[in-house]
Each structure stands twice: as C-alpha cells, then as structure tokens.
Chains A and B, each alone.
Chain A
C-alpha cells in the first residue's frame, strides 16, 4: 500500500471517531431546547446555562472533587508499590503487582458490585469518601504503569553513583529517583483524574443516589429527554480530556508512556 492510502485509512478512522463529537458539539449550539443538526438559531446560551443551574453545578463540583482526591490517592498508593516492586522479584512483589493491575483488567461492574457490598457492610454507602476511595483503588493501575515505566528508565548506575558519593537511601530517593519520576507521577495522576471524571458504574453503585457525579447526572437527565445542556457537558468533558492528554503529549513523551520503544537508526 502506498503512503497516501495508509494516511487516508488512518484519517477515515479518526474522522469516524470524531464524528459523534462533532455532531454533539454542533448540537450544543442549538438556540431552542432541541437537538437539531445542523443547529437552529445558533447561540452559546446553554454554555452559560450550565454554570447557572445548580442541578448541574453540584454534580460538576462532586466530579471534580472526587477526581482530584481519587487520583491523588491512586498515586499515593502506586508510588510506594512501584518502588517496592522495582528491583524485587518474589511472591510478595508479584502478588502486589497483580493486585495493582487486576482492577483494570476486570469488567468494572465486578469491582463496582464489590465496592457496593463492601461499603454497605462497613457503613459509608452513599458517602462521597466511599466514592473517592473506591475510585482511588480502582485507578491505581494507571499511575502504577506510568511510574513503573519511569523506574525502568532509570539507569541503575545513577543510583550506584549517588550512593558511592555518599547518599543514603532517603537522600538518593529525594535527590535522584524522585526528580526523575515526577513527570511519570504527573502523567499517572492526569490519567487517573480523567478516568475518574468519566467513570460511571462504580460511582453509581457506591453512592449514586446521594453523591451525583456528572456522568450519573447526564444519564439521569437522558431519561427525561435530551437537552442541549447534555451536549454542552459532553463537549466540556471531551475538551478537558483532550486538553489534559494534549498537555501530557506536549510536555512528555506520549508514545514512550504508552509503551513504544523504537530501535533508533543513525
């Protein structure tokens, strides 16, 4: 196949992926309360509406608080886990890695039901902290993967050099390992943040009736008919995700974060 054909193929698929978002973005500009495409009486009034109606503002705030705290929790669990597992082989290290990766490899509804029953048994069902902890544990996989990748990239000689020059374990960690890991921690946080923001089933089953997050609110609103405000929220969410991943791509090496390791030629 020629280069042109390959590029065309890639572009067609990207267009298909973006098509629903483009339609939704257009629909969000409808003036009246209708979902027409192309939009009628284009206006941006629904964007203002979102920030005036408390029925939308509360879920928005919930979502942001949960995502920010849950992502922090997942990094706080993943960092020591990754450090512990690094340079260690053994049953404990394997079991820990397995536990860190498992939540993400299983259909989320399983974890969701597990969390729901857990919080019902312990109390805490319906509380925002239950959602935060559940998300934090569920999303540990993401910072774990990025931080492990960062650790893999650290030349062991650097650490030996620091040790020879008189650095104790803590000093080596603070002055050599941590600075090299920060980009990976930031991207792990960002990944977890975006996914928590968009997560539905766990948030719904753990505290869906009392702590409404935006995805839950959207789904509830869908039952009462479609309004352009749904499109507005979708656009903002998609835009926010794209912005965060775009920043990671701009300031980090996204292909490498996602596992590319191309042999370079001179």
Chain B
C-alpha cells in the first residue's frame, strides 16, 4: 500500500509552512554564510561578493593548526571523561524507580539548560581563592595557603565536563533504559558476576550507543564558546571563540565564515559517524 495523502491525518500543504520557515531562516543563512566564506574581505569592515579561497588558505598556518589541535584535544578529553562517568551513571539511573529517575532527570535537565555564563561563573567561584575548594583544602590542612585553580586547563576541562555530563547521560538514557533487564538477569543466573555481566553483556550490547554518545558530546563541547574565555587562558581558546573573535572584533566575516564552514564539516562528519554507530545496534 502506498502513502495515500487522503489516508494520513495531516494534509500535504501542512508541510509548506515549516518548509518555508526553515528554508528562509535556516538554509538561507547557511547559504549566505557559504557565499561569504569565499567572498573578498574589505578591510573597512565588510566584504565584497566574489570567489576566492583566501580565507580557507589562512587555515594553513601553524597558529590555526595549534588552535584546531587545542580545540580537538580539549573536547576529546572532556567527551571521554563524560562518557566514562556517564555510562555507569545512566545504567544505575535507569534501574531506579520512576520517582527517583524523574527527580534525577530534573537535576540533569536543569544543569544542562544552565547558561554557559552561569556555569562559568559558578565554577570560577568554586575554584576561586576566596570561595572555593582552595579554601576548603586549606581548611582541611591539605595546602598551606588558599589558592585559585582558575584560569587553567584543569578548570576548562572541568567546565566542559560539567556541561557535557548531563548531555552524555541524556543521550545514553534511551538506549540504556530500553535494554531488556532480563538480559542482565539471564547473565547473572548463568553464573556471571556483577562486573562480568556489566562488561560482557551491557557494554557489548550498547557499544553503538556509547560511541554515538562520545561523538555527540565531543561535538557539543567543541561548540563551547564562553567556558574557554572564563575558565581557560588565551592559549586554550577554541575554534568557537576564534570564530566570534574574527566576526565581531576583527571584522573579518569571510574568515569567520570559512572557519564555521570548516567546523560544520567536521561536526557533520562526526554526527554522521555517530548515527552510523547507533544504527549498528538497531540492525541487530
């Protein structure tokens, strides 16, 4: 049987409105950005339409290689930590009762929704000399003088983990909670200890979901813009910070656009990989 439009609950024309809105306000901006990325930079502040690869050529410098390397490795580290901590967390969470799950999900969502500004501010307060853990460690006698732990690479990765962790858990939550609990019980009855069932049954069955979550958290933290400025030093600036910097403070829109296109390609490739990893299990 074919999809007869008369059989569906929604008429065909209904798709026109969202299609128009998304084309106008989502596809068009991307198209313009693409065009700007090959436009000629006008030093006075704007750009002239044209076609040249100059902005892309600027990537081929040691400086931007470094920026890219820092961006990627900081995000990779954060994504790895988030998934490592988040996976067991999600497994335990999904085994809890409905009320407990709801409460913990509210906390996670609230943290996830928090503005990066607020997270940056909170963490820099927590890591500061006057109000934070430096104070606590001093009080406990661990260090002789209260000290600040920010700005530093540690503070930046802590911040990225803070925004990445709830995201990792929420990405892992559907596949983990859909895993048949009888699979684990079966492994237990057949003689598997708790850790053995975890590593031998839960992890192999969710490998795709774990890889997918890792990539999505990676992309998510890659886009972080404020935390590198609030918690890191200038050498820790990520591509996102440089894009904004070029667009607003250096008034070099073509270069900013070229960097965005590049970041988008990286992100799209990774998201594609993530959905492939997710599908691998869907076929089973």
**Chain A interface (Cβ within 8 Å of chain B)?**
1, 6-7, 9-10, 13-14, 17-21, 23-24, 26-27, 34-37, 77-78, 80-81, 83-90, 92-93, 96, 99-100, 102-103, 105-118, 121, 133-134, 137, 140, 159, 169, 172-173, 177, 194-195, 197-201, 204-205, 214-215, 218-219, 222, 226, 230-231, 233-234, 237-238, 241-242, 245-246, 249, 254-255, 258-263
- Looking at B60-68, B124-132, B200-208, B276-284, the stretch in contact with chain A turns out to be B124-132
The answer to whether A260 and B104 touch across the interface, beta carbons within 8 angstroms, is no
Tell me the bound Cα distance from A137 to B165 in angstroms.
26
What is the distance, in angstroms, from A108's C-beta to the closest C-beta of chain B?
A: 5
Q: Which residues of chain B have C-beta atoms less than 8 A from A80's C-beta?
A: 10, 14-15, 17-18
Q: Which residues of chain B have C-beta atoms less than 8 A from A96's C-beta?
A: 15, 18-19, 22
Which residue from chain A places its CB closest to the CB of B266 in the assembled complex? A107
Tell me the bound Cα distance from A77 to B132 in angstroms.
44
Tell me the bound Cα distance from A112 to B219 in angstroms.
16
Contact string against A for B residues 94-112, beta-carbon threshold 8 Å, 1 for contact and 0 otherwise: 1110100111111111110
Supposing A107-B267, A200-B115, A259-B177 touch, asked if A114 and B30 sit within 8 A by C-beta, the answer is yes
What is the distance, in angstroms, from A212's C-beta to the closest C-beta of chain B?
A: 12
**Chain B interface (Cβ within 8 Å of chain A)?**
3, 7-12, 14-15, 17-19, 21-23, 25-30, 32-33, 36, 85, 88-89, 92-96, 98, 101-111, 113-123, 125-126, 128, 130-132, 135, 162, 165-166, 170, 173-174, 177-178, 180-182, 194-195, 216, 219-220, 222-223, 225-226, 230, 239-240, 243-244, 247-248, 253, 256-257, 260, 263-264, 267-268, 271
Looking at chain B's contact residues, the main secondary structure is helix
Supposing A84-B18, A159-B9 touch, asked if A14 and B121 sit within 8 A by C-beta, the answer is no
Which residue from chain B places its CB closest to the CB of A260 in the assembled complex? B177
Question: Which are the 3 A-B pairs with shortest beta-carbon distances?
Answer: A107-B223, A259-B174, A37-B131
The answer to whether A238 and B110 touch across the interface, beta carbons within 8 angstroms, is yes
Tell me the bound Cα distance from A122 to B110 in angstroms.
36
Supposing A1-B194, A137-B25, A241-B113 touch, asked if A13 and B85 sit within 8 A by C-beta, the answer is yes
Tell me the bound Cα distance from A105 to B272 in angstroms.
10
Which residue from chain A places its CB closest to the CB of B170 in the assembled complex? A258
Tell me the bound Cα distance from A20 to B118 in angstroms.
10
23 chain-A/chain-B pairs, Cβ below 8 angstroms: A13-B165, A19-B126, A20-B162, A21-B122, A23-B132, A36-B130, A37-B135, A106-B268, A109-B260, A110-B260, A110-B267, A111-B29, A118-B32, A137-B22, A140-B22, A201-B244, A215-B115, A219-B226, A226-B121, A231-B121, A234-B121, A238-B114, A255-B102
Of A35, A133, A219, the residue contacting B117 (CB under 8 A) is A219
17 A-B pairs besides A107-B240, A116-B247, A201-B225 with CB distance below 8 A are: A9-B92, A10-B96, A18-B107, A34-B130, A87-B9, A106-B264, A106-B268, A107-B219, A107-B267, A110-B260, A114-B26, A117-B36, A215-B115, A238-B110, A249-B105, A259-B173, A259-B177
What is the distance, in angstroms, from B264's C-beta to the closest C-beta of chain A?
A: 5
Q: Which residues of chain A have C-beta atoms less than 8 A from B178's C-beta?
A: 259-262
Supposing A10-B92, A100-B22, A242-B107 touch, asked if A198 and B114 sit within 8 A by C-beta, the answer is yes
Q: Which residues of chain A have C-beta atoms less than 8 A from B182's C-beta?
A: 263
Tell me the bound Cα distance from A146 to B23 in angstroms.
22
Of B19, B89, B96, B110, the residue contacting A241 (CB under 8 A) is B110
Which residue from chain A places its CB closest to the CB of B275 in the assembled complex? A105
Of B10, B25, B102, B226, the residue contacting A86 (CB under 8 A) is B10
Which residue from chain A places its CB closest to the CB of B230 in the assembled complex? A222
